[in-house]
């Protein structure tokens, strides 16, 4: 396994990934071994079924949406680069990253990018707006059949009413940011990757 | 490991690696990376990159320690290397792969670690900070070491060294710079705030890196400091976990909460709080009264009060007698009568009577303090929920799921709780949006209150009448009375308790309050009804006490007379004044009825009765009902589960009031029966388990699950009232009633509080003087006056703060609305410009605003209208917050 991890992962690739995602070398190799252990088909890519085997995702009502976030539009395989790119959203923000000068392009784990990731979970059709229907679908996933459609509808309406600021009956990304202004996203959307 | 193909570069890399590992153990990957980078980009290392490097270096440190042994092995390998360059390369490659595989194994082990909690993450960040500091120092030392070691492949190592040297130099320079900055900060023409901020930053930086750069002792000290910091953090985390694990029944309550909502959980939280309070009371009682008496007091059977009378001894162990707390129970530490009146006991001269009195009063003092402090804290907490009202549903929608849940059972609970919380919000929401016929509602509410007042008045009169009747009956001969006449009071009371609560509930439906408010009303009304219960009980008790007192007086006189007779007879018979004391076995001595013990027994019996009734009600009303509904449903005409009997709902108001009144009994009875508090502890524990089980197994969630108000202050208020009510009779008894002459710690004294006087008399005189002054009516009056003034003043200030708070909240709301308005109007206000933009083809991909046709005026109005409507709705949404 170990030999495979290092043979399949070329140093240049690791370098590029380090630059792109900010992970350290050992984190990348570690995650690579995780990646290969998830990869039951052993073809260097992960399919949706591979993700479904993770218990945390399997029982998560939004698990499907999270899994979707790993896959680029219209594909059902994700390679290690894509896998890392998605995971990079969850890298904790480190102290010395906070006060970097803004000219450098924002890293994947910035607050905005974290929020964007969360936003995409709800934005099913990727039109950069969360509409009422999309909210309803997500709600349905979250509460099952315990609450009537009518009530779910009113919840969705209220949610939009609360968050919507420009009156277009949907939640744009900016409005989404506004809603979660007080939530410590940097903290909550971070995973402690092992080094 | 199979031999592998590797391109030149990677072999070189491995080579580099091996060397580096030989020299310095930590920070391998980064160094490796850096080395290569250098080759490729010819030493272009600016500060920016250095900044980058540091965190990455931190990264290795965690693993570094356990690797030591492995490293040593490698070192040996490296020593051999000098002889055979080719072999060395191969070996190095091998080693690398080995290490890689080890890493992998370790990674696998730690996979579980990915599922970490938030605070762990946070903690980890701290940790990293710490390790990074240590890192720098080690690196440096290792670099030096390597300098001497490595002669072959000079170019590689040189590059490396210069790199890290450069890095070190830069770091040093920076530290120096910062130091200079600190020194010269005073002269900088900045504002104080900025200066302070700068100073802090610089100091932090210097602190962080200077230790790392230092040599020898400084570095060791530094490493030690870092290690200690890490240990501390770990300890804190463990301690926090431990603290959470120590909260009793947390899991049980959470489970109930997730299925039944916060309202049912609030009962269990209250129960747990009560348990805590009772544990403290038990500690007082047991530690200061019961234990000293058992350890140091006279043993059982030594004096009359400590032994079962001869007449009762044959039945003293009978089960039925013991069940009524007679026999051996009655003459044990459980009750007042057992305690001796000796002023001090044991070698420590423990003043038991004094301690008994102080604990009896102290229980009330402590309870009052705790209840009031709890209420104050609750009202604080209730106050600052201000801005949660803005995005209730959005928050629930976007943030309710806990993504770290990996256990299916937990997931089920979480599902349930998400659903419940949505339901709760829906109920709140419906209440707010109900557009109602205000006049009808008001009329109905007044009517309902009127009806309930009639009920309460009627039952009050009934109770009064029955009590009076029973007092008259008591004077008659017992044999002429019928069973009903004997038990009139009990029968009426239980009938009222059975009929009234459902009646109130039915009437309350007229009012259509929010369920939360309805619960409060219901609680208040039943509370009023129960007060009648209390009243009758106390009445009966005082009657009994008075009767006992009469009896006691008679016996006391008779005993004294008997003794005098004996002395007189003895001296006249033997014609001597040296009369030997009367020889009677302690159990044969005639003794008074000891009314305190009988009061204690009454409370004990009442409590046991209450426990039985509660448990049996749960067993029959909930459990059997559930069993019948569940299993008879297979063969019944209609759907039992959905139709008539259905499953029971958890009766919050009944249970809460039961708990409160039970506690009142404990408070009242504890003075007469020290064992009562212990019994109550058992009751609370068993009822926690039993009711948790019952509610999960047999009950269904309420039809309208509602969110309990954050503060339990209503419960607390009722509790405070009961506490006060139970305090009155006890204090009255202590201050006015004469204690029994032959039992209990105060026997032989005129009043119970004489114990205090005795103690004061023993103290030096000046203390007695001080107490004398302090009890001077003039002083007391002025103190009371002062307190009243203070209360008035504090009350006024708090009102003012409240108003200011309200004002601020309003302002915030307005500001928010305004902002919304402004945003919305942006599109419409600069219309002319928008028209122009519209004219241009392909202006943008965003579709033009929806409103287009209507004339400008109408257009201006529309969003405003909509906004106003929204604002109104939100204003409504904020209401429940205020209500809380």
The string of pLDDT tens digits covering residues A60-95 is: 777 888 888 888 777 778 888 888 888 888 887 765
- Contact residues for B493 (Cβ-Cβ < 8 A; gap 6+): B463, B532, B533, B536
| Separation of CA B446 from chain center | 38
- Distinct helix (H) and strand (E) counts, chain A: 13, 4
CA dist., res. B391 & res. A156, Å (int): 12
CB contact under 8 A, A142 and B401: yes
DSSP type of residue A45? E
Q: Are strands A129-130 and A78-79 parallel, antiparallel or unpaired?
A: unpaired
DSSP string, B137-186: HHHHHHHHHHHHH--SSHHHHHHHHHHHHHHHHHHHHHHHHHHHHHHHGG
> Which residues in B lie closer than 8 A to residue A135 (C-beta atoms)?
397
Return all residues near A31 (Cβ < 8 A) that are at least 6 apart.
A23, A83, A84, A87, A193
Residue A129 sits at φ, ψ, to 5 deg, of -140, 140
Strand partners, A49: none
Classify residue B682 as exposed, middle or buried by CB count within 10 Å of its CB (0-12, 13-18, 19+): exposed
Confidence of residue A172 (pLDDT cuts 50, 70, 90): confident
Nearest to B408 by CA among A139, A140, A147, A60: A60
Q: Is B707 helix (H, G, I), strand (E, B) or coil?
A: coil
Dihedral-angle region of residue B111 (phi above 0 means left; psi in -120 to 50 means alpha; beta otherwise): alpha
Q: Which two tokens stand for residue B80?
A: 């051999």
pLDDT of residue B167: 67
Residue B235 CA to residue B237 CA, distance in Å, equals 5
pLDDT in tens, B138-187: 444 444 444 444 444 444 444 444 445 666 677 777 777 777 777 777 77
Predicted pLDDT of residue A194:
61
Q: How confident is the model at residue A12 (pLDDT cuts 50, 70, 90)?
A: confident
Minimal Cβ distance to A95: which of B129, B425, B429: B129
Chain B interface includes A140 (CB < 8 A): no
**Cβ proximity of A7 and B102 under 8 Å:** no
Structure tokens at B844: 């943008």
Going by C-alpha positions, the residue among B45, B110, B145, B95 that lies closest to residue A26 is B110
Contact B125 A95 (CB under 8 A): yes
Per-residue pLDDT, A77: 83
Nearest-CA distance B863 → chain A (Å): 8
Percent of all residues in chain A with a pLDDT value above 90, rounded to a whole number: 0
How far apart are alpha carbons B263 and B755 in whole angstroms? 47
H-run or E-run covering B489: helix B488-508
CB contact under 8 A, A165 and B824: yes
Q: Which two tokens stand for residue B706?
A: 């509602």
Q: Quickly count: other Cβ atoms within 10 Å of residue B658's Cβ.
A: 18
Interface touch B395/A179, C-beta < 8 Å: yes
CA–CA dist B133, B126 (Å, integer) = 11
Q: How far is CA B148 from the centre of its chain?
A: 62
pTM of the model: 0.63
Three-class SS of residue A78?
Answer: strand
Angle between helices B754-762 and B352-383 (to 10 degrees): 110
Question: Rounded to the nearest 10 degrees, how much is the dihedral formed by the CA atoms of B562, B564, B565, B569?
Answer: 140
The whole-angstrom separation of Cα B409 and Cα B713 is 33
**What would the two tokens of residue B78 be?**
């490296």
Residues 44-73 of A with CB under 8 A from B: 55-56, 59-62
Asked if B29 lies within 8 A of A191 by C-beta distance, the reply is no
Beta bridge partners, A130, equal A171
User: Of B537, B543, B470, B469, which is closest to residue B497 (Cα–Cα)?
Assistant: B537
Nearest to B58 by CA among B134, B111, B122, B114: B134
Q: Which two tokens stand for residue B289?
A: 């009264």
Residue B862: predicted pLDDT: 39
B174-182 long-range Cβ contacts below 8 angstroms, 24+ apart: B174/B205, B174/B209, B175/B205, B175/B206, B175/B209, B175/B210, B175/B213, B178/B202, B178/B205, B178/B206, B179/B206, B182/B206
A25 and B873 within 8 Å at the Cβ level: the answer is no
Give residue A126's pLDDT: 78
Cα-based torsion angle of the residue sequence B156, B162, B166, B172 in order, rounded to the nearest 10 degrees: 120
Residue in B397, B402, B407, B432 to test binding to A, most A beta-carbons within 10 Å: B397
**According to the model, what pLDDT value does residue B838 have?**
57
How many CB atoms sit inside 10 A of residue B31's CB? 25
CA distance A61 to B186: 58
Chain A residues with CB under 8 Å of B32 CB are 25
Task: Give the closest residue to B150 by CA, choosing from B18, B15, B19.
Answer: B19
B649 and B263 in contact (C-beta within 8 Å)? no
Q: State which residue of chain B sits closest to A14, comparing Cα positions.
A: B33
* H or E element, residue B805: helix B777-829
Report the C-alpha gap between B711 and B183 in whole angstroms: 53
Tokens 């029955």 correspond to: B466
Rounded to 5°, angle at Cα B654 from B650 and B656: 95
Q: Which of B284, B356, B364 is nearest to B756 (CA)?
A: B356
In this complex, the residue of B29, B110, B827 whose CB is nearest that of residue A24 is: B29
Asked whether the beta carbons of residue A2 and residue B395 sit closer than 8 angstroms, the reply is no
> How many Å apart are CA B333 and CA B675, to the nearest integer?
7
Kindly give the interhelix angle for B765-774 and B754-762, rounded to the nearest 10 degrees. Answer: 140
**pLDDT score for A113:** 83
Using the Cβ of B47 and the Cβ atoms of chain A, whether some distance falls under 8 Å is answered with no
CB contacts under 8 A, B 214-253 vs A, are none
Of B860, B571, B668, the residue nearest B281 (C-alpha): B668
**pLDDT at position B165:** 60
State the Cα–Cα distance between residues B846 and B862, nearest whole angstrom: 21
Separation CA A143–CA B875 (nearest Å): 28
Chain A residue numbers touching B33 (CB-CB < 8 A): 15, 18, 25
pLDDT for res B880: 36
> What are the chain A neighbours of B120 within 8 Å (beta carbons)?
192
The predicted structure's pLDDT at residue B711: 58
Residue B370 parent element (H or E): helix B352-383
Say if the Cβ atoms of B418 and A158 lie within 8 Å.
Answer: no
Residues ≥6 apart with Cβ < 8 Å to A146 = B419, B423
Give the per-residue pLDDT at B787. 96
Residues whose CB is less than 8 angstroms from the CB of residue B67 and which lie 6 or more positions away in sequence, other chains included: B25
Which among B107, B391, B415 is the nearest to A179, CB-wise? B391
- Residue B259: what pLDDT? 80
Residue B239 tokens, joined: 């301690």
- Taking the C-alpha atoms of residue B244 and residue B257, their distance in angstroms, rounded to an integer, is 17
Average pLDDT across chain A, whole number: 77
Task: Name chain B contacts of A11, Cβ cutoff 8 Å.
Answer: 9-10, 13, 36
The answer to whether residue A102 neighbours chain B at the CB level (below 8 Å) is: no
Q: Which residues of chain B have pLDDT under 70?
A: 1-168, 207-218, 381-391, 403-407, 409-410, 433-436, 478, 704-705, 707, 709-711, 820-884
């Amino acid at each position: 396994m170990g030999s495979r991890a290092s043979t399949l992962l070329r140093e240049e690739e690791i370098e590029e990934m380090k630059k792109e995602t900010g992970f350290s070398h050992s984190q990348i190799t570690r995650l690579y071994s995780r990646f290969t252990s998830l990869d039951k088909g052993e073809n260097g890519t992960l399919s949706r079924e591979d993700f479904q085997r993770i218990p945390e995702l399997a029982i998560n009502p939004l698990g499907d949406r999270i899994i979707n976030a790993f896959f680029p539009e219209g594909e059902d395989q994700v390679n290690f680069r894509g896998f890392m790119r998605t995971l990079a959203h969850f890298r904790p923000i480190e102290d010395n990253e906070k006060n970097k000068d803004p000219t450098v392009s924002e890293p994947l784990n910035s607050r905005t990018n974290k929020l964007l990731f969360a936003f995409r979970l709800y934005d099913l059709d990727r039109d950069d707006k969360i509409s009422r229907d999309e909210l309803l679908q997500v709600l349905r996933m979250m509460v099952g059949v315990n609450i009537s459609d009518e009530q779910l509808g009113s919840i969705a309406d209220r949610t939009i009413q609360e968050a919507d600021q420009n009156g277009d009956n949907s939640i744009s990304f900016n409005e989404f940011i506004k809603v979660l202004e007080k939530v410590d996203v940097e903290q909550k959307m971070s995973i402690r990757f092992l080094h | 490991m199979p031999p592998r193909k590797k391109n030149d570069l990677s072999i070189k890399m491995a080579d580099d690696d091996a060397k580096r590992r030989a020299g310095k153990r930590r920070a391998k990957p980064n160094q490796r990376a850096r080395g290569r980078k250098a080759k490729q980009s010819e030493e272009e290392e600016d500060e920016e990159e250095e900044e980058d490097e540091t965190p990455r270096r931190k990264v290795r440190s965690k693993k570094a320690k356990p690797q030591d042994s492995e490293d040593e092995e490698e070192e040996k390998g490296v020593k051999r290397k000098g002889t055979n360059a080719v072999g060395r390369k191969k070996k190095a490659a091998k080693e690398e792969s080995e290490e890689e595989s080890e890493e992998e194994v370790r990674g696998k082990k730690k996979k579980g670690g990915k599922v970490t909690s938030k605070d762990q993450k946070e903690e980890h960040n701290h940790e990293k900070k710490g390790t990074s500091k240590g890192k720098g120092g080690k690196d440096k030392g290792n670099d030096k070491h390597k300098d001497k070691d490595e002669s072959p492949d000079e170019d590689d190592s040189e590059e490396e060294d210069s790199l890290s040297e450069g890095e070190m130099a830069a770091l040093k320079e920076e530290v120096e710079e910062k130091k200079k900055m600190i020194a010269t900060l005073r002269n900088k023409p900045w504002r104080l705030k900025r200066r302070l901020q700068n100073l802090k930053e610089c100091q932090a930086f210097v602190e962080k890196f200077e230790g790392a750069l230092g040599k020898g002792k400084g570095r060791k000290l530094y490493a030690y400091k870092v290690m200690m910091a890490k240990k501390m953090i770990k300890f804190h985390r463990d301690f926090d976990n431990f603290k959470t694990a120590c909260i009793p029944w947390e899991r049980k309550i959470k489970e109930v909460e997730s299925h039944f909502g916060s309202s049912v959980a609030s009962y269990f939280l209250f129960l747990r709080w009560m348990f805590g309070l009772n544990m403290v009371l038990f500690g007082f009682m047991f530690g200061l009264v019961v234990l000293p008496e058992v350890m140091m007091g006279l043993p059982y059977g030594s004096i009359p009060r400590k032994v079962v009378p001869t007449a009762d001894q044959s039945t003293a162990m009978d089960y039925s007698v013991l069940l009524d707390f007679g026999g051996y129970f009655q003459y044990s530490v459980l009750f007042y009568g057992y305690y001796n009146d000796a002023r001090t006991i044991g070698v420590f001269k423990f003043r038991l009577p004094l301690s008994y009195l102080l604990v009896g009063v102290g229980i009330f003092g402590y309870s009052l303090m705790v209840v009031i402090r709890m209420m104050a804290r609750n009202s604080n907490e209730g106050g600052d929920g201000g801005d949660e009202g803005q995005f209730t549903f959005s928050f629930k929608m976007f943030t309710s799921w806990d993504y770290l849940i990996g256990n299916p059972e937990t997931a089920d609970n979480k599902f349930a709780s998400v659903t419940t919380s949505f339901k709760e919000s829906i109920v709140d929401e419906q209440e707010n949006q109900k557009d109602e016929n205000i006049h009808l509602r008001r009329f109905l509410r007044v009517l309902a209150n009127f009806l309930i007042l009639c009920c309460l008045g009627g039952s009050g009169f009934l109770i009064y009448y029955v009590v009076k009747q029973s007092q008259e009956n008591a004077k008659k001969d017992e044999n002429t009375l019928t069973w009903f006449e004997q038990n009139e009071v009990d029968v009426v009371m239980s009938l009222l308790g059975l009929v009234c609560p459902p009646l109130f509930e039915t009437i309350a439906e007229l009012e259509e309050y929010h369920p939360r408010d309805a619960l409060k009303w219901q609680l208040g009304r039943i509370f009023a009804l129960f007060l009648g219960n209390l009243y009758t009980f106390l009445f009966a008790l005082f009657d009994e006490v008075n009767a006992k007192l009469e009896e006691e007086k008679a016996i006391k006189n008779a005993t004294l007379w008997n003794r005098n007779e004996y002395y007189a007879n003895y001296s006249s018979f033997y014609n001597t004044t040296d009369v030997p004391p009367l020889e009677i076995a302690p159990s044969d001595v005639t003794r008074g009825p000891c009314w305190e013990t009988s009061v204690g027994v009454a409370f004990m019996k009442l409590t046991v009765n209450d426990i039985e009734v509660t448990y049996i009600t749960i067993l029959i009303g909930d459990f059997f009902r559930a069993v019948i509904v569940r299993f008879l449903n297979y063969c019944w005409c209609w759907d039992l589960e959905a139709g008539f009997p259905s499953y029971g709902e958890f009766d919050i108001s009944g249970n809460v009031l039961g708990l409160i009144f039970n506690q009142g009994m404990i408070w009242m009875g504890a003075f007469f029966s020290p064992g009562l508090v212990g019994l109550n502890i058992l009751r609370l524990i068993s009822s926690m388990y039993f009711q948790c089980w019952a509610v999960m197994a047999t009950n269904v969630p309420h039809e309208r699950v509602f969110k309990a108000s954050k503060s339990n202050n209503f419960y607390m208020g009722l509790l405070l009232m009961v506490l006060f009510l139970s305090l009155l009779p006890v204090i009255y008894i202590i201050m006015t009633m004469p204690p029994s002459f032959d039992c209990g710690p105060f026997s032989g004294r005129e009043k119970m509080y004489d114990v205090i006087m005795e103690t004061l008399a023993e103290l030096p005189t000046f203390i007695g003087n001080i107490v004398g002054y302090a009890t001077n009516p003039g002083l007391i009056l002025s103190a009371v006056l002062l307190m009243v003034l203070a209360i008035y003043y504090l009350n006024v200030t708090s009102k003012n703060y409240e108003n200011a708070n309200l004002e601020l909240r309003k302002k915030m709301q307005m500001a928010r609305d305004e902002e919304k308005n402004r945003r919305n109007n942006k599109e419409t206000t600069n219309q002319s410009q928008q028209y122009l933009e519209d004219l241009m083809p392909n202006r943008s991909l965003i579709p033009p605003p929806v409103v287009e046709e209507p004339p400008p005026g109408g257009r201006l109005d529309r969003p405003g209208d909509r906004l106003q409507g929204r604002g109104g709705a939100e204003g409504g949404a904020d209401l429940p917050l205020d209500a809380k």
